[in-house]
Structure 1
Amino acid sequence: MATGTEGALNPVMAFALVGALGVGAQWLAWRLRLPAIVLMLVAGLVVGPGLGVFDPSRDIGDLMSPIIAIAVAIILFEGGLTLNVRSLADAAPGVLRLVILGAPLGWLFSALALHYAAGLGWAASAVFGGILIVTGPTVIAPLLRQARLARRPAQLLQWEAIVNDAVGALAAVLAFEVVIVLNSNVSPGAAAGDMAFGILLALGLGLLSGWGLSSAFRRALVAEYMKVPVLFAVVLLTFALSDAVLHESGLLAVTVMGVFIANADLPSYDEIRRFKEHATILLVSGVFILLAADMDIDTLRTLDWRALGFVLAAILLARPLTVLVSLAFSPVPWRERLLVAFTGPRGVVLVAVAGLFGERLTELGFEDGARIAPLAFVLVAATVVLHGFTMVPFARWLGLTGAEKPGVILVGGSSFATGLAEALHKADVPVLLADPNRSRLRSARDAGLPTFYGDILSEAAEHSVELVSYGSVVAATDNDAYNTLVATDLAPEFGREHVYQLKRARQESRRHALPASLGGRAIGGGHGYLDLTRMMTEGWRFRTTKLTEEFPIEAWRKAAPDAVPLAVIGPNGTPRLVSDENGLRAGAGSRVVALVPPGETATPAG
């Protein structure tokens, strides 16, 4: 296990440890409902400076910096892939303000905090202040997944994090070039020319790569199974070429490339994006473990009370002032402004870029450059822990999260779907009934149920339906193929375990049968659309029955042997749909929603 250095891990074991810790922390966070970023940070600190088991600089060596650089480039590219301009809708004015006004204001306020609170010189403050523009998509993405924010504040945070990541890196480059000009014989004209050329090259490479890939994919010049590998190769090439001309400009190039592809309307775009989302989760986990494990305790001990003052100033003054001034007199509601103002977690880009420029400033003779890396890490740790634990309750207090109880979307306005929606609605479960046929929604509207007139898979639904308020989907139309399409398309959004559809009609010929790998879980007690419609016509009705210690699930089943259980509402009001595969499980205090035939009550006798 050891290599030439006593106690060192060989690179293979080191990478295996990083993968196990990163994915393990994500899984444990999901099980315990804790912020994943916090657990990854703790895991890295424990195995690194805590126990001394893993030292990335020792065990990985010179590969450490390029690994982090490539990982950050892929993360930013994947973030760019999520930035579809059409999805902005009413969030566009806020995003523009946060980028155009917020970036320079954030640079200014952060530099002031660094100089007056942390005690850094103006040179180090200007360079580090530019880096502090970034808020970190590596941290925002997991937080948004956990918080289930409403659409507009989520878009504001996501767009700002991804776009300003590239802007912040370039701001640091600009400030560093100014420092070089003031402390060397380099002429201002030459430095400005190099900077402008590097930025223009980054923009050009990003646009050219995005256009070239989009054209090749659309014209079928790349085989389907080769699209993701080609994508990865072009991302790395674009990043490397741009970065070779101007340091950190590669981040801008890959972000522009991702945004271009996101808005190119590629037919296989969803598959590409989902694969890269999975890769990004692995990369975010790995990079966080690496950076946390690489921290030096002796370096952290050099930080004094001024470091605490800087962290407080950055969180409570610089960030809120930047956002509130940028969004002043904008159409963004004040609640959303407050949430964005007090949500500014920093991530791996900040630590990676800060370490690089800290070393360069030290080489130029600025001794306070050595304090940049530990200050960056302390700020990242503080914001990750703070926002990891406070963002959800703060957003909930402001009324900007999805419903406390995850609701149910029912697709199809049949009598069965309307009846189930009405039963869930009466049990205080949020519901939405969707159908592209307005007449089929008439009964639901008469019953006072929330409805969406249109295709649930349409762009209009994406813009007008707050999906974060719902935790499950039931595809219950009379078209098996469409039900399967809805379940398959929405499975990545809700999780495959929360997507259901009615039993498919049996096909006599295999050539007409849909693959079993597509679609969602079966619901309806083995009954298809025609059976359930017939049962409703014959007088079957939905009943909600509360289970107690005296009337457990076994007694309920005896009281209503023919009833079709469809949902269980837990004591806390959270619904769980009953699939045909898993059967019915419910304890005392739960309520069972079932379709009951005439003559059966599904209630305790007597």
Structure 2
Amino acid sequence: MVELASILVLGVFAQWLAWRIKQPAILPLILIGLLIGPVSTFFTPDGTKLIDGDSIFSGDLLFSFVSLSVGVILFEGGLTLNLKEVKTVATTVRNLLVIGVFITFIGGAIAAHLILDLSLSMAFLFGGLIIVSGPTVVLPILRNVRPNAKTNTILKWEGILIDPLGALIAVLVYEFIKSSSHGEYYTVEALKDFFVTISIGFFVGGMGAIIIWYLIGKNKIPEYLRNIFTLGTVILVFSTADILQKEAGLLAATIMGIVLANMKLEDFKKILSFKEDISLILVTLLFILLSSRINIEQIEQLGTRSLLLFAVVIFVLRPLGVFLSSIGSNLKWQEKLFISWIGPRGIVAAAVASLFSLDLMKSETTSASLRAEAELLLPLVFLVIVGTVVIQGTSAKWVGKLLNVLRKEPQGVLFVGANEIAKKLALFLKKEGFYVLLADTAKHNVEEARKLDLHVYEGNILSEEIFEELDLSQIGKLVAVTSNSGINSLALSWFDNELGMQNTYRLVSKEEAENENLPLPKNVLFKSRLDYLSLNQMLRENSEISEVRFNADSEYEEFIEEKGKSIIPLFIIKPGKKLHIISGYPEEVEKEDRLIFLKKKNYDMQSTES
């Protein structure tokens, strides 16, 4: 009881730590597991581990827990694979998913066979496992480094799409190993078992997706039960496939997620939301639990040859895959090198490797030699994961600066809300050449904004998925203009770490608007006490947005002193399309800068250049 509670507490701490240091959560999770597991044996009086996964879940219970957890994780990964997106992403991304995956798979297998003397079957399993990167490890690095738009897009989409693809390849290789374990490899019987396993996995997984699609699409399940019903169906599909054919459950769960992701389901995003709760808890428990099971003897088995294999993976296979995949693209060699450097392995690789290692070691049909290699598989994959996350994650910003691929300060604006205020301001900025994106949950607002040819995201701006679903590489500022002051404030705090506090702005609240004794925070839009209703009314009455250009530095102060009470300053646009949003932060106005403003009813046009 104490050990299980400790893992939960440490897992929450690891997730928080990852958020603070802007690194993938898998790194602190595994490191904490190693510290309380094998490393702790050096400090305890009797040489035992502080926490050992085997003492929490004994016998088949551990295998069942890990197996079901991996099934849920693979289902969640499958949910991210939209086949339409694969067709529309850049050629380089598609090539990375084909050429890059092939080179990693085959090259990793050959290297493992030659360097570590692994059998071909286990070597190919290792090659399949190290394919998987995943958004949970790539996106935190990208948010911290902020590379230019091209490299950011390629790495983001590769990380999202390669997750289920890599898992599927690893599962298929594993199924073939299990099918062949009863006798000589490549026998007719082995191929028959393999075909049956694949068929059952595809059929049961597809049927599970159809059941979810029908019941939720026809409103047969109440909204508050949909997440838990989906989770229950995943477990049912996994178990059914496994009963029909041993080891078919993992494939069924993955296929169910992929099929469901490509069906037209109105409430699909609500199904996706369950991964924030269940998958996060499972991942947190799983990696501390599994890394605590590793023994010092297994780590010692790795040796220098394992480090050589690791070097081949990151210094040879990854660059080779990237450069071959980007032939004919418009990527500069510096961008290709940077993409080559960012290839961290992720959660799916660790989870699937743990499950395969456990199953192969406990299976009675596994030969002694294969069992010994299976015991080495887990620490070997963990070495690749920790090594890539630590080395690439910590050095990515330095490498980006060295190669000059970090993006210049983006000038795009994300509007929280797609209401009249947001549409009016966004249309003006778009006409000026700035990238604008509106986000709203109200379907009517979204449809009206799209009719105006504005980029709109329909969804909750405060959800965890926002950083996965939106390409924020062009966004440098956030403007919260909803009628709900609470949502506006939350949006600012949600994006403070992403954009910086000085680049997030909001309307005043009703209390701030009505009480002039309350000092205005610096991030209040337009240095104004105009709340949502007042500003909306002013925009309706004054449809024209005006501007004035300054020929000398002092003209701005003179203009504000003369006209300040009859205008609402909105933006300052500098030469080179640099945008400054008027707020409590100081303005530095120079020659050729333009002030964009709204005129109040009593505005005097005399002596004003616009």
Common fold: TM-score over 0.5? yes
Tell me the equivalent position of 1:365. 368
The whole-number CA distance in structure 1 between the counterparts of 2:321 and 2:586 is 51
Q: CA 1:402/1:291 → structure 2, altered by over 3 Å: closer, same or farther?
A: farther
Tell me the equivalent position of 1:108. 106
1:409 aligns with 2:406: no
Tell me the equivalent position of 1:382. 387
Tell me the equivalent position of 1:53. 50
Please state whether the residue corresponding to 1:191 is helix, strand or coil. Answer: helix
Tell me the equivalent position of 1:270. 269
Task: Render the CA deviation track for 1:516-559: whole Å, top value 9, x for unaligned.
Answer: xxxxx99853242223565897989899xx9xxxxxxxxx99x9
The equivalences for 1:299-338 within 5 A come to 299-325=298-324, 327=325, 329=327, 333=331, 338=337
| TM superposition score normalised by structure 2 | 0.69
Report the AA paired with residue 278 of structure 2: A
The equivalences for 1:153-192 within 5 A come to 153-178=155-180, 180-182=182-184, 188-192=187-191
Task: Render the CA deviation track for 1:171-205: whole Å, top value 9, x for unaligned.
Answer: 1332454454327xxx8112111110110111111
The alpha carbon displacement at 1:420 in A equals 9.2
Q: CA 1:71/1:373 → structure 2, altered by over 3 Å: closer, same or farther?
A: same
The whole-number CA distance in structure 1 between the counterparts of 2:245 and 2:22 is 42
1:529 aligns with 2:536: yes
Please state whether the residue corresponding to 2:183 is helix, strand or coil. Answer: helix
Please state whether the residue corresponding to 2:457 is helix, strand or coil. Answer: coil
Does structure 2 conserve the Cα–Cα contact (< 8 Å) formed by 1:117 and 1:313?
no
Does structure 1 conserve the Cα–Cα contact (< 8 Å) formed by 2:413 and 2:477?
yes
Please state whether the residue corresponding to 2:473 is helix, strand or coil. Answer: helix
Does structure 1 conserve the Cα–Cα contact (< 8 Å) formed by 2:216 and 2:226?
yes
Tell me the equivalent position of 2:241. 242
Report the AA paired with residue 58 of structure 2: G
The alpha carbon displacement at 1:314 in A equals 2.0
Does structure 2 conserve the Cα–Cα contact (< 8 Å) formed by 1:420 and 1:542?
no
Please state whether the residue corresponding to 1:467 is helix, strand or coil. Answer: coil
Does structure 1 conserve the Cα–Cα contact (< 8 Å) formed by 2:22 and 2:141?
no
The alpha carbon displacement at 1:94 in A equals 4.9
The whole-number CA distance in structure 2 between the counterparts of 1:400 and 1:538 is 37
Q: CA 1:356/1:129 → structure 2, altered by over 3 Å: closer, same or farther?
A: farther
Report the AA paired with residue 297 of structure 1: I
Does structure 1 conserve the Cα–Cα contact (< 8 Å) formed by 2:129 and 2:353?
no
Q: CA 1:274/1:530 → structure 2, altered by over 3 Å: closer, same or farther?
A: same
Please state whether the residue corresponding to 1:302 is helix, strand or coil. Answer: helix
The alpha carbon displacement at 1:359 in A equals 2.0
Q: CA 1:229/1:330 → structure 2, altered by over 3 Å: closer, same or farther?
A: farther
Q: CA 1:48/1:414 → structure 2, altered by over 3 Å: closer, same or farther?
A: closer
The whole-number CA distance in structure 2 between the counterparts of 1:172 and 1:39 is 28
Report the AA paired with residue 389 of structure 2: V
Decide which of 30, 34, 44 is 2:33's aligned counterpart: 44
Tell me the equivalent position of 1:517. none
Task: Render the CA deviation track for 1:287-330: whole Å, top value 9, x for unaligned.
Answer: 222222222123212332112111112222233334544x2656
Report the AA paired with residue 408 of structure 1: V
Tell me the equivalent position of 1:445. none
Tell me the equivalent position of 1:226. 225
Task: Render the CA deviation track for 1:251-273: whole Å, top value 9, x for unaligned.
Answer: 33222222222222222122221
The alpha carbon displacement at 1:105 in A equals 3.9
Task: Render the CA deviation track for 1:385-412: whole Å, top value 9, x for unaligned.
Answer: 1232234554676677665457423566
Does structure 2 conserve the Cα–Cα contact (< 8 Å) formed by 1:95 and 1:159?
no
Count of aligned positions: 523
Task: Render the CA deviation track for 1:129-158: whole Å, top value 9, x for unaligned.
Answer: 343343356534554565566334311222
| Bigger mean CA deviation after superposition, 77-86 or 402-411 | 402-411
Decide which of 350, 353, 363 is 1:351's aligned counterpart: 353
Report the AA paired with residue 457 of structure 2: L
The whole-number CA distance in structure 1 between the counterparts of 2:470 and 2:140 is 22
Q: CA 1:216/1:391 → structure 2, altered by over 3 Å: closer, same or farther?
A: farther
The whole-number CA distance in structure 2 between the counterparts of 1:251 and 1:294 is 22
The alpha carbon displacement at 1:585 in A equals 7.1
The whole-number CA distance in structure 1 between the counterparts of 2:193 and 2:545 is 79
Report the AA paired with residue 48 of structure 1: G
Gap runs ≥5 in structure 1: 1-9, 437-451, 507-520, 547-555, 569-573, 579-583, 600-606
Report the AA paired with residue 54 of structure 1: I
Report the AA paired with residue 457 of structure 1: Y
1:212 aligns with 2:211: yes
Task: Render the CA deviation track for 1:333-360: whole Å, top value 9, x for unaligned.
Answer: 4666555544332332353145236526
Q: CA 1:22/1:314 → structure 2, altered by over 3 Å: closer, same or farther?
A: same
Q: CA 1:175/1:65 → structure 2, altered by over 3 Å: closer, same or farther?
A: closer
Does structure 2 conserve the Cα–Cα contact (< 8 Å) formed by 1:76 and 1:255?
yes
The alpha carbon displacement at 1:220 in A equals 1.1
Does structure 1 conserve the Cα–Cα contact (< 8 Å) formed by 2:73 and 2:279?
yes
Q: CA 1:292/1:65 → structure 2, altered by over 3 Å: closer, same or farther?
A: same
Tell me the equivalent position of 2:67. 69
Tell me the equivalent position of 2:457. 457
| Bigger mean CA deviation after superposition, 120-129 or 370-379 | 120-129
Does structure 2 conserve the Cα–Cα contact (< 8 Å) formed by 1:113 and 1:313?
yes
Report the AA paired with residue 349 of structure 1: A
Q: CA 1:69/1:340 → structure 2, altered by over 3 Å: closer, same or farther?
A: farther
Q: Give the percent of matched residue pairs that are identical in Structure 1 and Structure 2.
A: 24
The whole-number CA distance in structure 1 between the counterparts of 2:294 and 2:193 is 33
| TM superposition score normalised by structure 1 | 0.70
Tell me the equivalent position of 1:288. 287
Report the AA paired with residue 57 of structure 1: D
| Bigger mean CA deviation after superposition, 405-414 or 267-276 | 405-414
Does structure 2 conserve the Cα–Cα contact (< 8 Å) formed by 1:503 and 1:528?
no
Gap runs ≥5 in structure 2: 41-48, 440-451, 460-465, 512-523, 554-559, 573-577, 604-610
Q: What's the C-alpha RMSD, in Å, of the aligned pairs?
A: 5.1
Task: Render the CA deviation track for 1:268-292: whole Å, top value 9, x for unaligned.
Answer: 1222212323433333333222222
